[in-house]
Amino acid sequence: MGRNVAAYDLDSTLIKVNGKHKWPKNADDWVWWNASVPARLKEEHEKGHILVVITNQAGLTDQYGNIRAEKQKEMKLKFEKICAQLQLPMWILISMAKDHYRKPMTGLWHWLERKFEANGVEIDRATAFYVGDAAGRHAGWMSGVKEDFNNTDRKFAASLHIAFDTPEHYFLKQACPDHLWSFGEFDPKNVPSEGPLFTPTSTPLIPTDNTCELILFVGPPASGKSSFAAKHILHLDRYEYVNQDTLKTRDRCLKAVEESLKESKSVVVDNTNADEATRALYIAIAKKYNLPVRCFLFTASRELVVHNNHFRAFHRPLISAMQGESGEAQPTMKVKTSVTTSTGKSSTSIATEQSANSPIGNSESPTGGLDSVSTTTTSTSTTTSVIKVRDEPVRERLSEMVFATYYRKYQEPKLEEGFTEIKKINFLVDEDIRDAWTRWYV
């Protein structure tokens, strides 16, 4: 049997601000979320569960990822006070940046598993659970209650396949109707792997008669344009490839298109081409040489491309975390707890090294130094298979502004612009990445 883990969010789960204001004023501005919290945590500890707090705290760094030293000092002091009141050993893991450690992404959990494994202990996910308030509950799930601000805690548990509970149900035994929550309008598990790749299907994707043409992609960032080009067009060696990420400017793209079409070489332009005015520049070149222009319109929804954006940036770091590969960032700002088994009292010490891109974690051994329950077994009742997802470089996460700019400029392509055909390209999840792609990233 593996070790049991009882994991919790922090704000609005274990503690809340001491008043009606939204944000804490200092390290002392907190009270227990409910008076029953300390006793329930003690109960779990006495059952042999390892107590873990996993929380997102973006305010510990600024918008550029720089450390806010005073805020981090305040957070460490708050946890010192929490641990002093609890008198229980506890692991505290804090995500401080928008990276693979941030819930609903599961990097912190995998970091914890690796830490335990290094000490010969394996977490049993079949008995582990996570309690959090970001549960995706609808307005009115309880009389007079607003909808949850998010559903990241429930998504976090779902990606790990561990049990999830809300604070109301876990601490107060209140009924939580199963039908009054959701993951939102977009669920990656519902995105198909099979179906028509494009419509209309009455004409082929690529002409069979080697006709020289211009294909103009239209679609938001992270909608699968580059992958589609590589998989379905470029391997034919019949098309020149033009992409502004490579050429850097639109003028260079236009020049490359004209040089190729002038020599009767077909071209595919892999840019967003959101508005009619941009598309008209390319269409004019094709008309100059009396060549047809087709539009490939990528139909991925806004929610899907945001998911894709996070997947491209963070799935490789997550896989590395799960497999324990080298290069994984290590936590250097720590809140450490230890326990004295003879008295049952715990003490707290603080280490002050800091890293903006790492979790805050306990560096003690999960056996002995961390808690008073000795463990010698390393087997677990659940097995997680890890498949490395392609050998692709990690892409930088695009900011929300990039997507907002595209959708603000977007004008739906029309045949009247000069296209001989508009093909709608459907996003299909490749089977070799489906397991990783359908986890929650945002």
pLDDT band at 403 (very low <50, low <70, confident <90, very high): very high
Cis check for the bond before 104: say yes or no (omega within 30 of 0).
yes
**Residue 404 scores a pLDDT above 90:** yes
Q: pLDDT of 119-138, one tens digit each?
A: 899 999 999 999 999 999 99
> With 50 as the cut, is the pLDDT of residue 388 above it?
no
Q: Taking each helix axis as running N to C, give the angle between helix 302-323 and helix 400-409, from 0 to 180 degrees, rounded to the nearest 10.
A: 160
260-290: b (≥16 Cβ within 10 Å) or e: bbeeeebbbbbbbbbeeebbeebbebbeeee
What lies within 8 Å, CB to CB, of 400 at 6+ separation is none
d(CA 145, CA 137): 10
pLDDT of 378 above 50:
no
| Per-residue pLDDT at 109 exceeds 70 | yes
pTM metric for this prediction: 0.85
DSSP state letter for 77: H
User: So what's the pLDDT on residue 66?
Assistant: 85
Q: Which of 19-28, 243-252, 302-311, 336-345 has the lowest mean pLDDT?
A: 336-345
Q: Do 371 and 339 touch, CB atoms closer than 8 A?
A: yes
Task: Write the pLDDT tens digit of every residue in 70-79.
Answer: 999 999 999 9
Residues 6+ apart with CB under 8 A from 247: 253, 256
* Percentage of residues of the chain with pLDDT beyond 70: 84
Identify how many contiguous H helices and E strands the chain contains and give both numbers: 12, 15
- Residues 404-412 have a mean pLDDT of 98
49 Rama class: left (phi>0) / alpha (psi -120 to 50) / beta: beta
* Angle between the N-to-C axes of helices 276-288 and 250-262, in degrees from 0 to 180, rounded to the nearest 10: 20
Cα separation, 63 vs 182, in Å, equals 30
The predicted pLDDT at position 2 comes to 67
| C-beta neighbour count of 207 within 10 angstroms | 14
Mean pLDDT of the chain: 86
Q: Determine how many CB atoms are found less than 10 A away from the CB of residue 346.
A: 19
